[in-house]
Every structure is written in C-alpha cells, then in structure tokens.
Structure 1
Amino acid sequence: MIFLASTSAMAEMRSLTLGQAMAIAMEQNRDIEKAREYAKYVQGKYVEERAAALPQLALNGSAILTQDDSQKVLATLAPREHTRAIDLTLSQPLFTWGKVSAAIRAAEVGLKTADEQLRLYRQAAYRDVTTAFYDILLARELNNLAMENLAQKQRLLDESKRRYEAGVATDYDVLAAEVAVENARPEVIRTKNSVRTVRERLRFLLALDKDEVDAVGSLEAEVNVPKTYEDALATARIRRPELGDLRYRIGIYRELVTIAAADNKPRLDLKGGVGWHWLDVRDSGVSGNADGAAWNIGVFFSFPFFDGLKTGGRVTQAKSDLRTREIEEAKLLDSIALDVRDSGNAVKEAAEIVQALGGTVHQAERLLQMAEKGYEFGVKIKLEVDDAQLNLLQARSNLARAQRDYRVAWANYEWAMGTAGE
C-alpha cells in the first residue's frame, strides 16, 4: 500500500518547460479567468445601454370590476362595469439631448477596457510565472551545490580518517572534518525546503489543484542589450495595458458628464399601443356588453427645467471624477517612467555581474583541484582546502543567482515596457 501511494505521488509530478508553464497559465491563471469574466460583464453592459435606443415592447393585460356610486346623479342606479383588456405597447425615445448615445459610446469604450484588463493580467502572469520558474531552477541549483559541498566535506572527512590511520594526521583533523560535515547539513535542508516552496508558488500561479510541478530548463541566458531609456519609455507609453485601460476609462467619464448634463434637458418619446378591450355594464338603466379593437399613438414632450439643482450637482461630480482620472493618468505616467528606468538599470546590473562571473567558476574549480591534490600529498593544509571549497561554492552560487536575476530582470523590463509575453 505504501509503495502504491508513493508511486501515485511520483506520477503526479509534472516537469514543465517555461513555454509549457506559460501555456497553462494563460488558460488557468485565476486573474486571467477574472479578466475573461469582466469581458463578459462589459459585453452585457453594452447590450444594456444599447437597449435604451431601441423600441421597448410590452404585452399587458387587465381585468377590472368598477362601481362608482357618485354616478347615481346620472342614473337611478350606479353602473357596475367589468372591463378586460389586452394591449401591446410601444415606447421609443426620439430625442434625449445626447443621453442615450453617450451611454452607448461609454459602453463601447468599456468593451475596450476589457481587452486591456485581459492584456494586463496576461502580462502579470507572464512576469510572475517567469520569476517562479527561474526561482525553482535557482533553488535547485543551490540545493545541488549544498549537497556537493556536503559530499566534498564527507570526502575530506574520509581522507582525514585515512591519514589518521596512516599516522600522518591527528584526531584534531578528524574532529574538524566531522564538524565541517555537520555544519554543511543545515544548508542542504534549507535549500531542499526552498525548492518545495518555490514549486508551490509556481503551482499556485498555474492554478493546479493536485499536481506537483517542477521546472525543466537552464539558468544560462544570452545577455542582450536593453533599449535606450527614451525608446523604452516611448514603448511603455504606447503598450502598457493599465495606461491604455485608464485612458479608455477617461473616455467613459467624459461621456458620463454628457449623461449627467442631459437630466434636466428636453426629450421626446413616441408611445403607442394596440389591443382588444371588453366592456360589460350591469345594474343601470342600460345594460350590455361589447368588445373591439383599441389603439393609441402619440409623441410626448418632457422638460424638467428645474429640479432643485440636482442635475447641476451631478454634473459637478461627473466633472470631478473625470479630472481625478486625468490626474491618475499623469501619476501613472510618472510611475511608468520610474519603472522603465529602474528595470533597465536592473537588467544592465545583472548582465554585468553575469559577464564578470563567467570565468570565475572555472578558476575556482581549478584552485580546488590543486588544493585537494596538495592536501593529499601533504603540501597543503586543510585551511587552504576549506578556502578553495568556499571560493568555489561562492562563485557557483553567485553565478547562479546572477543568471536568475538577469532572467527575472529582463521579464520585469518587458513588463515595464508593456511587452511581456507579446
């Protein structure tokens, strides 16, 4: 039973390339799903606003029993009337001072905001998945380095015991090697747990409920030269989805000013109806019943020229909302300019570090080999071997971190320009 459970758990591990992880994220990421639902919402809002410009049809029916004793003045007994009717009514706005057309235009702009929202969350998913993917590769590389360091110290412990048995080393050397082995174990545990943590982060971004995920790829990357600040900023001003979304919303708020201003303006409506009516009259001098077709049609004019300044207050609010969004646009432009500059500098810094560390690892490996051989032949002391081990571990760790930082910095740079994943 334990074996089967272990086999099942292992089968659920999914090893993904960056491209495969992106494909899953674009389909299943929760934020992207929210953006798709928002697109359905604004589509419904557009249909709702457009309906105000279309004829409104309704089918109405009634059955009424009426008696009015005040009519005794006209007859000995007050008539009792039983009326029934079924009508098809029509209402069509003819002129609304631009209110209906402004609402439709605002809804049309709302459709475009949905597209920008979807772009925004897709780019955010691209950035976050890229970061989590390379965090896994880095964590696994650091775990491998920690295990190699532990294995190296274990070999030195074995060598110290061999030398001690040969009479060319002291018990101090053996004890020091044992302490070094034990001190190397916590880093193995920490890095192993770090791998699990970042894997869970990627699984969360991919919205995978049960499957465990792992990253397959390399931290190595070709170092590219970023655009100039001016070119990158120009691209960001055009491509950043949140900026496009805000600009569309400013257009919506302009239409809302028009809608608010039309509340106390004249309007014309066409209204009419057609149906069939039944009338029964009882308890009067003349009794009888009849039925027949009935219809009516007319143009209605309304002009609420004074509403206690309510419309003026709404217009003031709408204009204030519009101005607030324009201020937010200016603030966002400043923030984008800072993002572009910072992300560009981060790319340059990471690229320079990667290039600087390119040959350091090879040199540190040669240095450790020389120190180990010298220690084996008795011409090097253990401290020199420890220094060489530490130098190699630091060089490989620094290079791995620099490569990860460059990958993530480039993803953030693309995000800052509004081109992530596009």
Structure 2
Amino acid sequence: MKKYNRSLIAAIAMLGIVLPAKAQELQLSLSEALVLAKTNNKAMQVQLLEEKVSKMETSESRGELLPTLSAQGSYTHYFDRQVIFMPGALVGNENEPVVDVTVGGKNAVNTYLAFQQPLLLESARRQVRTAKLSEAFQEQETRAFKTRMVADVTASYLRALLISESLKLSHQSLERNILSLEDSRSLFRQGKGLKVDTLRSFIAVENLKSSISYLQSQYETTLLHLARVVGLEVGQTIVLTDKLGLDDAIRYLDTAPLSEAEMTASRPDLLQAKLSVEISRSLVSQTKAQKLPTVTVMGAYQLQAQSFDLSFSRWPGTSFLGIQAYVPIFSGNRINSRLGKSSIRLQQGELALKDLSEKAAIEVATHENSLREGLRQLEIHAKTVEAAKINFAMVNERFQSGLSSRLELTDAELALTESRMNQLQAFYKVRIAKLEYDQALGLLSE
C-alpha cells in the first residue's frame, strides 16, 4: 500500500513537471493599460529618478551661497625634533653667522576650525537660477515621456484590437470557404462541378490559413510589446476587453483652436524648447558674472599643543576673522570664449523654438484633416459593409436555389470580407488619427 502511494505521488509530481502551468490571464482595458504603464513602466521610473536628480542639483547649487564650516585635527610624533635657523649672535654663538636650533616637543597636536560665508558671489546666484530652469526642463521631459508612453500604449492596444478583429473575420471567412471547398469537392465527385472551382476554393482556403498564421504571429508580438510597456511580468497573458469601434462619449472634433501661448503651455516639447532658450540665456548671464569680483567672509580658530610625553598641559589658541576679495583681471580669454559659445547656443535655441512652433501648428492642422477624412471614410465603409451583406445574402439565396454559380458566391463572400476588413481599418485609422491629433494639441500628458 505504501509502495502504491509512493508511486501515485511520483506520478502526480511527474505530471506537474510535464504539464505546463496555465498562464495567468489579465483582463485589460485601454484605460487600465494606461494606469498600469504610468505605475510600472521601467523607463518612466528612470525618468522620474532623473527628475529627482535635477532637484538635487538645484539644492547643490544653492549650497554655494550658504556658509561652510569645517574642522580638522592632527597628531604628529617627531623622532627628530623640529629645527629653526637663527643668527648665531641671538643664541650666544658669535662664531657662526647662522645656527640651527631644536625647538618644540616630540609630540604635537593641532586642531583647526574654519568658517567661510560668501558675501558677493554673483556667478553662484545666477547658477541657482540656471539649476531651477534645468529642474523645470526635467519636469517637462517627464510630461513629454508620459505623452510618448500614452501614445505608444494606445497605439499598441489599438493595433492589437485591429489584429484581433481581423483574425475573427478571417476565421469566419475560413469557415465559409472550407464549406465552399467541401461543396465543390462533392459536386466534382458527382460530376456536377468543375475542377477549376475546387482548385479556386482550395487556393482561397490555403491563402486564408496563411493570412491567419501571419496575423496570429503579429498579434502575439504586439501583445508582448504591450505587456512590456505597461510593465507586466513575463508570461502573463493579456485579454483585451475594449472594442475597436468609436467611443460615443468622445467628440472627435470638438476641440477649439488653440492660440500660440495655449499651444506652448499644453505641449511639453514646446515648453522644453522655451526652457532651453531660458537656460541658454541664464548661462550667458552666469558666464558674464564670472568677470565680477567676489567677496567672502572667513574666520578660523586654532588650538595647538606640544609636549615630550603626551601630557599636553597648555593649549594656546589662535583665532581670526577677515574678508577676502577676488577680482578677475585676465583669465587667458577663457571667459570670453565661454561667453561666445553660450551666446551661440542661445541663438540656436531661439531658432529651434521658432521652428518647432511652426511645425506644431502644421501638425495640428495635418492631424485634424486626417481625422476629418477618416470619419468620412468610416461613413463610406459603413454603407459598403451593409451593401456587401445584402449582396452576399442575395447571392447565397440564389446559389441555394441553383440560380447562381459557386464563383459568384465566392466573389460575394470575398467582397463581404474585404468590406469588413476595410471598415476595421477605417475604425483603426480614426482612433489613431484622434490619438495623433490629441498628441499634437498636448492633451496626452494630462
């Protein structure tokens, strides 16, 4: 009995090894995918950390204007005591003009406390402004990354929906063509059909199988990309819950035209270009400040002691407080060269901002026209699908009554499938056009 139980347990264990675990399925809508991406996307997390780094750099630049306080200490043991050189007459040796005199103890301790406070350091003050602008630039880079991520997730999700719906239509068409192939073979065996009709049906079936295989591969690849972007674990299966059709709650062209200022405020790339110009302008000002004098308050307090046997009984102190001024006179033309380079960068930034603003206006107009055309095409394809359905029903009825040929039925089925595929493509193009239109308006980063 025990042997039987051991064998049963071993068999169950082997079965667990042989049979793969069922992949965990995740029901996922587009809105849920976007929420997951904002939370789990690794590249997004890297960008958020980069934003924190820029905040630390701003804090670091502010530190240049704050006081500094440092302390140091040292202990020294002299195997040969220190010497100083003095005139021989001062130490009672008239025969030698200069003699060496041993001084101090063999053990020495020295402590030092230093203090500095900039009073006038204009270059550091302007550097703080540059750091704040760089911090704002990184914030807009985060917004721009969110925009690109939302566009990527949405486009991938819509592409997966398109392929999924195309697969359903292809499978439906395959079922009809398989039935058609079986009918053709039956009629051919009875001598009531032509061999060419059977070959035509066979070719149609094989072509559909090939298309389905290709679409399935594309579908799996798209889902893998979508899973990576939204930050899902490897092996987790995604089940799409949305449909490719239009959302009735969305007014696809109900957006008022934006002014240039509103466009700049809504699009992170335009704000980045504007901040880039401000950073270049601040760098020019910061470079000019390097020609200005600096004034620093400094002070120190020192305790020192020496002895022969580590018994430091006396600790004489020394302290001072003073002001140090530094005036740059000539620096090998380095400051002027940096100033010229910063000025050129400023000109580049201004031209890039102007060019990007013009491109943004063209993008909005282009994507708006694409969206309008896509909506018009969608209306046309909706009528075409209805016509193709009616035509297929009529031809099928005639074929069942023996009034129509198999070729006519095959052509009607092909027309119906193509019209439905075209309608799916039209839905997809409208959704993508809306996505690109919103991206051009700067609405995806909200």
Q: Same fold (TM over 0.5)?
A: yes
- CA–CA separation in structure 1 for the residues paired with 2:338 and 2:210: 66
Counterpart mapping for 1:180-219 below 5 A? 180-210=204-234, 211-219=236-244
Per the alignment, do residues 162 and 334 of structure 1 end up closer, same or farther by CA in structure 2, a change over 3 Å counting? same
Contact preservation (8 Å) 2:301, 2:319: yes
Q: Does 1:269 align with 2:296?
A: yes
Paired residue for 1:49? Answer: 61
Counterpart mapping for 1:137-176 below 5 A? 137-164=161-188, 168-176=192-200
Task: Indicate the percent of aligned positions where both proteins have the same amino acid.
Answer: 21
- Across the aligned residues of Structure 1 and Structure 2, the Cα RMSD in angstroms comes to 2.5
Aligned AA for 1:246?
A
Per the alignment, do residues 376 and 164 of structure 1 end up closer, same or farther by CA in structure 2, a change over 3 Å counting? farther
Give the secondary structure class of the aligned counterpart of 2:110.
strand
Contact preservation (8 Å) 1:95, 1:268: yes
Aligned AA for 1:112?
A
- CA–CA separation in structure 1 for the residues paired with 2:64 and 2:197: 90
Paired residue for 1:37? Answer: 49
- CA–CA separation in structure 2 for the residues paired with 1:4 and 1:232: 64
- Larger mean Cα displacement after TM superposition, 77-86 or 352-361: 77-86
Contact preservation (8 Å) 2:84, 2:103: no
- CA–CA separation in structure 2 for the residues paired with 1:264 and 1:42: 27
Aligned AA for 1:71?
M
- The count of residues paired between Structure 1 and Structure 2 equals 415
Contact preservation (8 Å) 1:273, 1:297: yes
Q: What is the TM-score when the length of structure 1 is the normalising length?
A: 0.90
Give the secondary structure class of the aligned counterpart of 1:219.
coil
Per the alignment, do residues 250 and 233 of structure 1 end up closer, same or farther by CA in structure 2, a change over 3 Å counting? closer
Give the secondary structure class of the aligned counterpart of 1:78.
strand
Paired residue for 1:14? Answer: 26
Q: Does 1:220 align with 2:220?
A: no
- Larger mean Cα displacement after TM superposition, 141-150 or 304-313: 304-313
Give the secondary structure class of the aligned counterpart of 2:23.
helix
Unaligned runs of 5+ in 2: 1-13, 94-99
Paired residue for 2:3? Answer: none
Paired residue for 1:304? Answer: 328
- CA–CA separation in structure 1 for the residues paired with 2:17 and 2:371: 47
- CA–CA separation in structure 1 for the residues paired with 2:110 and 2:396: 106
How many angstroms does 1:338 deviate by? 2.3
Unaligned runs of 5+ in 1: 283-287
Contact preservation (8 Å) 1:264, 1:307: no
- CA–CA separation in structure 1 for the residues paired with 2:259 and 2:293: 50
How many angstroms does 1:405 deviate by? 0.9
Contact preservation (8 Å) 1:49, 1:103: yes
Q: What is the TM-score when the length of structure 2 is the normalising length?
A: 0.86
How many angstroms does 1:38 deviate by? 1.2
- CA–CA separation in structure 1 for the residues paired with 2:348 and 2:335: 20
Paired residue for 1:91? Answer: 116
- Larger mean Cα displacement after TM superposition, 183-192 or 52-61: 183-192
Paired residue for 2:103? Answer: 80
Contact preservation (8 Å) 1:264, 1:311: yes
How many angstroms does 1:404 deviate by? 0.8
Give the secondary structure class of the aligned counterpart of 1:264.
coil
Q: Does 1:369 align with 2:393?
A: yes
- CA–CA separation in structure 1 for the residues paired with 2:223 and 2:345: 44
Q: Does 1:242 align with 2:265?
A: no
How many angstroms does 1:171 deviate by? 4.4
- CA–CA separation in structure 2 for the residues paired with 1:158 and 1:191: 25
- Larger mean Cα displacement after TM superposition, 155-164 or 372-381: 155-164
How many angstroms does 1:393 deviate by? 1.0
How many angstroms does 1:228 deviate by? 7.3
Per the alignment, do residues 316 and 180 of structure 1 end up closer, same or farther by CA in structure 2, a change over 3 Å counting? closer
Give the secondary structure class of the aligned counterpart of 1:146.
helix
Q: Does 1:116 align with 2:131?
A: no
- CA–CA separation in structure 1 for the residues paired with 2:425 and 2:237: 24
Q: 1:61 aligns with which of 58, 70, 73?
A: 73
